[in-house]
A and B are shown apart, each in its own frame.
Chain A
């Protein structure tokens, strides 16, 4: 009877953990989602007519978004993905946004109000090159207007209504690059100007209705024409030559091309260096930017130039904004410490200068987009979108920053986790925010919610209350380890600390200006690591973060390191190193002040020890004989292992160590290419070594921190899926011990190809690839068991002490391992893969899969168990073995991102909370998403919806009932006695 009950309970338990999901009202309790767009590269304002002021931007993350000009909120956004780079955007018919992407081969129209795609046209361009889009305003065939896409020497006219190609004209001339297209007002002729082989100027007259070539003329030029051009009027063009020191003024009158060469030194005073030409639109004005300043020039007559305005400091100049036929406005922005001066010049004349304070952590201005509006007094007002060094986006108007967006967070390259400060006694962090009435009200609402009496409005109020509750947003450490700081590094070199409670930015610092110096001309941060994690001895010290980077672009350029406080982001130490940086290896050692030891490997394979103290040196030298390093050379197809030795090849520093090659694995270049490597997390905790089988047998997991998973594919299979036949494609999976270079396991999958995504944890590896024979994606699991410990299950030996459980494990012993493996089909392609990690490794694992739909799927590891059989026995079922299926199920409730999407998902990170059952999941791409999940449910804590009030009421009711019955029984007793 008891056994049956136990069995049923176990079954219930195994079933219950199948469904990890949250209820609708729990959304936003533990998770947050932030949407970003990335660094803006084009902006088109749409401010006329409509009541809603908006700007359409395209970014370097290949997102197209429509932003509210008043608040900076996103109306709509589309992320095109990294293979579909946006070349240009434009507006058409006042209601469509046109985007030209994939090197001018795809043209799309999006509906301006809601961002829905109206049409998409593949322009079928044979040799995609630098192309541009020109939206014609005047060609009206009915209500239609044409958009011209020029690519090299071909022009395509696309109807704006349905995206059909109305006409195309391939001006089949080799080497022709069209540079400019224009159409004089009220004319049916389009003029296309281009250069042939950078040495000839060509002019084409094309019928705007039919695309027929009417006339063309060419003219040889004496200078190389491969640089910027600017059309200054309907019949003239200004070109910079390739040396960027001469200007060419080209005129086309009546089909005849004439040009004048003008040395820049004649035009700009004190000219030196390289000039830039700012694109303008007509009006005979052009803008030359030189290192010393900006000059506004107007062309008069045939070849006379007049200086109409200049700015002495070189600043950032916006594209021209046409106010009227005669007037063109430019914005010139200069940067001086912590403030920018914003100038608007109409036809070179300064009309507006504003000084605006900007937070220091944003760096310098990178790009400016100018827009005008009509003020209440009918004069011109100007606003500007400004892109800063840290990729943030600001809107400036009337000398103020109206809003700012931290779009640098769309390009996270690395992230670590840091603890928050401990709450000290006497220091109250939470402000007193609840009055008694509010408190009561809140609890009444909660009670209503629990008793299911709440109306939808009440539910919303409860949810808002949950969100507002300060408990999760405190700036101190909590007992459960739910509150932490996620410290992220972005591509621009800015470091942000995000609070796990609500994703707000606690602090942010742009590091590159800090480092910029003569010794370090163009610093770029490569990676960040935890430098000090306060622990036993140094509990009072603040934790800190190490940032490592390079001073130049090449791998041989000097490195630098920087240590910042993780509570405040303050810089503690900056050092420009005298060696290069190829890799940073964190060691599992720490010195007496709990600073973690790091080895920086340079390009000559010397290892440099940090921190540089005698203490750390002592710690390192003690362990040096047991340290190994390996390097994977993807391009050359080998993996090499090294040991460290004293004395390095470049210097005599005591902190510099040489390396010695110990082993190598060489993959034959004609049959294998490395496509993926994966290894265990350095700080992963494994709870138990043994795995008990159904038949009471024990298997010992082969747990080694030095397992490296390597996947290679045949050279022909490195292309896209379908580019090769199944017979010529194979994938080989290796498990390599990185100390000795021993190949522990090798297995070949015939007819399989990449992309391969893999994750290694405990004693298993899961990898994802494409099976060409089955035309499906597959996931394979390999579990490794240690056979040398297999005899330890004998109790007798344990009693007699003859077991080898306490003998140290060494890589130099010949491993006796057994592997179990199984493959399953999987429906999705995968963008990223990770595994949940918990504090003590007891909780069962889930595999976090970033799907093609930019969501994160939590797949129970039990589905990827090599021991699954088609008909599991009763015991196996009790153990939780799921019947074998050929496909891994995708349960909709197991998406941890529920309904949200993490645009352009690039990485998933899982880090443990103090509570064993719970783990943090942080995924990033263009968007950020954070949540906490409990793979085996929260077995060690009461859930959030546990109603303490109801418990209290129950207790009170019970007590009252007892008191009442006691009184009643006394009364009865008394009555009985009187009887």
Chain B
């Protein structure tokens, strides 16, 4: 009983902790949006420099909050555990104060921007398609490419809504891949806002598209994706891109809201008419190799043995479990009938010796 209560308290603490985390995320999102709304012409490096500070700042703040909660937990803990917590707290704090470089690293393998502060780490694998043995340092050349995101509000024509900027890496083995994707959304015009409001009212689709070949965007092939407009509004319009690439080709873009979007979708207007975007770049995973065994022969032998069917059982061996209870029931019934008859006979006389014996059984 007492154990359960302490458990409940713990759960509550963890719950608090989660809430704090969430709050932190929402604030950090806003920060991101502010920077993404910067005009496109601003050089990449400088924007990155500006970004770095609030990120670092928030992380330290977050750590501090974590530590305060862990302190409060400490009070309910036994000494050995609390020591452990204290240690981890110290570690956390020390990392928070340590120097954070704001240098722009060209070759970091961070392929998603904006989703950096997201809670669930998106599963991102390095581009290993067809070249499983390559490493990052073998990149000989990298240049920047831009391609536009177009959107359609309801049945309207597609119009440019934002720009993706990515680094194109050429490998010495031949072939190119996209890395370091950045996304800038254009501000929503009043006309678009009107259209979007109508979409929200009709629960219609908001459609976006990206050229399937980013090097040659004039091609006719686009990858499309749509979402019910009512899925997007939170505080602002939260959108989440997952771009599946294969080399320089975009296979598909998955577009949707950040969180869930369950069926009776209520009409909700965002408090802020701007998009907050998260983009993730995804490459194909490699299938693990089929395991091979030396002792395969032995295994197959045992499998065969297992596969051998047991010898055919006789009628009794198969169905004894049905017949035995039936026999008992009948015997019981007969015994009772006999008993009744016996009692009838022995009425007033000496009780039978057998009857109690049967009853005992």
Inter-subunit contact B11/A796 (CB<8 Å): yes
| Residue interface bits A867-900, CB-to-B below 8 A is 1, else 0 | 0001000000000001111110101011000000
Taken together as a complex, chains A and B put the C-alpha atoms of A741 and B308 apart, in Å, by 47
Contacts of A884 in B (CB 8 A): 291, 293
The answer to whether the Cβ of B53 comes within 8 Å of any Cβ in the partner chain is: no
Closest B residue by C-beta to A638: B221
Inter-chain contacts of B284 with A (CB < 8 A): 732, 746-748
Chain B minimum-CB-distance residue to A816: B120
Please determine whether B287 and A780 come into contact, CB atoms closer than 8 angstroms.
yes
Chain A residues 398-456 with CB under 8 Å of chain B are: 450
Q: Which of A778, A807, A814, A959 contacts B290 (CB 8 A)?
A: A778
Q: State whether B306 touches A812 (Cβ < 8 A).
A: no
* B-contact 0/1 string along A955-966, CB 8 Å cutoff: 100110011001
- Judge if B212 is at the interface, Cβ distance under 8 Å: yes
1/0 contact trace for A801-821 toward B, CB 8 Å? 000000110101110100001
B71 within 8 A of A: no
A516 touches B (CB below 8 Å) = no
Which A1-60 residues have a C-beta within 8 angstroms of B?
Answer: 15-16, 18-19, 21, 23
Interface residue? B237 (CB, 8 A)? no
Residue of A643, A780, A813 with most chain B CB atoms under a 10 A cut-off: A813
Q: Verify B225–A810 contact, CB threshold 8 A.
A: no
Separation of A547 and B307 alpha carbons in the complex (Å)? 44
Q: A665 contacts B223, CB within 8 Å?
A: yes
Which of B258, B293, B331 lies in contact with A886, CB distance below 8 A?
B293
Closest to A662 in B: B226
A720-761 Cβ-contact flags toward B at 8 Å (1 or 0): 000000000010110000001111001111100000000000
Residues of chain B contacted by A889 (CB below 8 angstroms): 300, 303-304, 307
Complex CA distance for A808 and B264, rounded to whole angstroms: 9
Closest to B289 in A: A823
Q: Which residue of A lies closest to B284 (CB)?
A: A748
| Interface contact A886-B292, CB-CB below 8 Å | yes
CA distance A780 to B288 in the complex (A): 10
Known: A663-B225, A885-B300, A946-B319. Is A671-B254 also a contact (CB below 8 A)?
no
Instruction: Assess whether B151 is interfacial by the CB under 8 Å rule.
Output: no
CA distance A261 to B285 in the complex (A): 71
Query: Is A668 a contact of B287 with CB atoms below 8 Å?
Result: no
Instruction: Report the Cα distance A771→B292, complex, angstroms.
Output: 13
Within 8 Å CB of B261, what residues of A?
Answer: 810, 812-813
CB contacts (< 8 Å) of B291 on chain A: these are 870, 884, 886
Flag whether B224 is at the interface (Cβ < 8 A). Answer: yes
How many of chain A's residues have a CB under 8 angstroms from any CB in B? Answer: 77
Residues on the B chain within 8 Å of A336, using CB: none
CA A951 to CA B326, docked complex, whole Å: 10
Asked if residues B323 and A951 are in contact (CB atoms below 8 Å), the reply is: yes
CB of A227, distance to nearest CB on chain B (Å): 45
Does B359 count as interface, using CB distance less than 8 angstroms?
no
**Which listed residue, A19, A660, A950, touches B205 by the CB 8 Å rule?**
A660
Verify A814–B330 contact, CB threshold 8 A.
no
Residue among B11, B242, B289, B308 making CB contact with A19, cutoff 8 Å:
B308
Alpha-carbon distance between A893 and B213 when the two chains are bound, in angstroms? 52
How many residue pairs between the two chains, A and B, have CB atoms under 8 Å in the bound complex? 191
B130 in the interface, Cβ–Cβ < 8 Å? yes
Q: Which residue of B lies closest to A661 (CB)?
A: B224
- B57 CB-CB contact with A under 8 Å: no
Determine if B246 is an interface residue (Cβ-Cβ < 8 Å).
Answer: yes
The answer to whether A886 touches B247 (Cβ under 8 A) is: no
Residues of B within 8 A of A450 (CB): 315
CA gap between A966 and B331 in the complex, in Å = 11
Which residues of chain B come closer than 8 Å to A695, judged between CB atoms? none
| Among A664, A812, A814, A969, contact of B224 (Cβ-Cβ < 8 Å) | A664
Q: Mark B124-165, 1 if CB is under 8 A from A, else 0.
A: 000001101000000000000000000000010000000000
- List the B residue with the shortest CB-CB distance to A868: B291
Interface string of B284-321 (1 = CB under 8 A from A): 11111111110010011011101111101001000100
Q: Chain B nearest CB: distance from A962 CB in Å?
A: 4
B212 touches A666 (CB 8 A): yes
Question: By the criterion CB–CB under 8 Å, are B309 and A969 in contact?
Answer: no
Task: Provide the residues of chain B in CB contact with A666, threshold 8 Å.
Answer: 212, 221-223, 249-252
Tell yes or no: B263 within 8 A of A by CB.
yes
Q: A643-B205, A742-B254, A748-B285 are in contact. Are A15 and B263 (CB under 8 A)?
A: no
Who on chain A is nearest to B330 by CB?
A958
Task: Out of A16, A746, A814, A894, name the residue touching B282 (CB < 8 Å).
Answer: A746
CB A801 to nearest CB in B, in angstroms, measures: 15
B250: chain A residues at CB < 8 Å are 666
Q: Which of B285, B308, B312, B330 contacts A955 (CB 8 A)?
A: B330
Q: Is A939 close to B, CB under 8 A?
A: no
The secondary-structure label for the interface of chain B is mixed
B287 lies within 8 A of A823 (CB): yes
Interface flags, B221-238, vs A, CB<8A=1, else 0: 111111110010000000
Tell me if A382 counts as interface (CB < 8 A to partner B): no
* Residue A172, interface by CB 8 Å: no
Residue of B nearest to A894 (CB): B307
CA distance A546 to B249 in the complex (A): 43
Which residue of B is nearest A888, CB measured?
B303
Could you tell me if A958 and B327 are in contact, using CB atoms closer than 8 angstroms?
Answer: yes
Q: Does B334 contact A (CB under 8 A)?
A: yes
Minimum C-beta distance from A169 to chain B (A): 51
Q: Check B251–A743 contact: CB distance below 8 A.
A: yes
Question: A969 contacts which chain B residues (CB < 8 A)?
Answer: 338, 354
Whether, in the assembled complex, B262 has its beta carbon less than 8 Å from a beta carbon of chain A, the answer is: yes
Say yes or no for A825: interface residue by CB 8 A criterion. Answer: yes
A973 to B338, CA, bound (A): 12
- A373 CB within 8 Å of chain B: no
Say yes or no for B257: interface residue by CB 8 A criterion: yes
Bound-state Cα–Cα, A672 to B287, Å: 17
Residues from chain B with Cβ under 8 Å of A671 in the complex: 246-247, 249
The minimal Cβ–Cβ distance linking A649 to chain B, given in whole angstroms, is 13
- Whether A21 contacts B290 in the complex (CB less than 8 A), given A740-B226, A741-B254, A750-B130, comes out as no
Given contacts A643-B205, A816-B120, contact A664 B285 (CB under 8 A): no
A771 with B290, Cβ < 8 A, contacts A625-B203, A732-B284, A889-B304 known: yes
Question: Using Cβ atoms and an 8 Å threshold, which residues of chain B touch A668?
Answer: 212-213, 246-247, 249, 251
In the complex, A640→B212 CA distance in Å?
A: 14
Chain A residues with CB under 8 Å of B303's CB are: 882, 885, 889, 891
Q: In the complex, what residue of chain A is closest to B310 when comparing beta carbons?
A: A16
Indicate whether B260 reaches chain A with its CB closer than 8 angstroms.
yes
User: A810 with B247: in contact, given A662-B226, A966-B334 (CB under 8 Å)?
Assistant: no
Known: A740-B225, A885-B300. A749 touches B354 (CB 8 A): no
Q: Tell me the complex Cα distance, A808–B289, Å.
A: 38
B residues less than 8 Å from A951 (CB atoms)? 319, 323
Interface string of A610-634 (1 = CB under 8 A from B): 0000000000000001100000000
Q: Closest residue to B7 on the A side, CB-wise?
A: A796
- Please list 27 pairs of residues, one from A and one from B, whose beta carbons are closer than 8 Å in the complex, sorted by A's number: A15-B310, A16-B310, A19-B307, A640-B224, A662-B225, A664-B252, A666-B251, A668-B249, A740-B225, A742-B242, A743-B242, A747-B285, A748-B129, A808-B262, A810-B262, A812-B261, A814-B256, A814-B258, A816-B120, A822-B288, A870-B293, A883-B299, A886-B290, A950-B315, A959-B334, A962-B331, A963-B334
- A-B pairs with lowest CB-CB distance, top 4: A668-B249, A813-B260, A812-B261, A891-B307
Q: A19-B308, A672-B246 are in contact. List 20 more A-B contacts (CB 8 A).
A: A16-B310, A18-B306, A625-B203, A662-B207, A664-B224, A668-B212, A671-B249, A732-B284, A778-B290, A812-B227, A814-B257, A814-B260, A821-B287, A823-B289, A884-B293, A894-B307, A946-B319, A958-B327, A959-B334, A969-B354
Q: Residues on A close to B: CB < 8 A?
A: 15-16, 18-19, 21, 23, 450, 625-626, 638, 640, 643, 660-668, 671-672, 730, 732-733, 740-743, 746-750, 771, 774, 778, 780, 788, 796, 807-808, 810, 812-814, 816, 821-825, 870, 882-887, 889, 891, 893-894, 946-947, 950-951, 954-955, 958-959, 962-963, 966, 969, 973
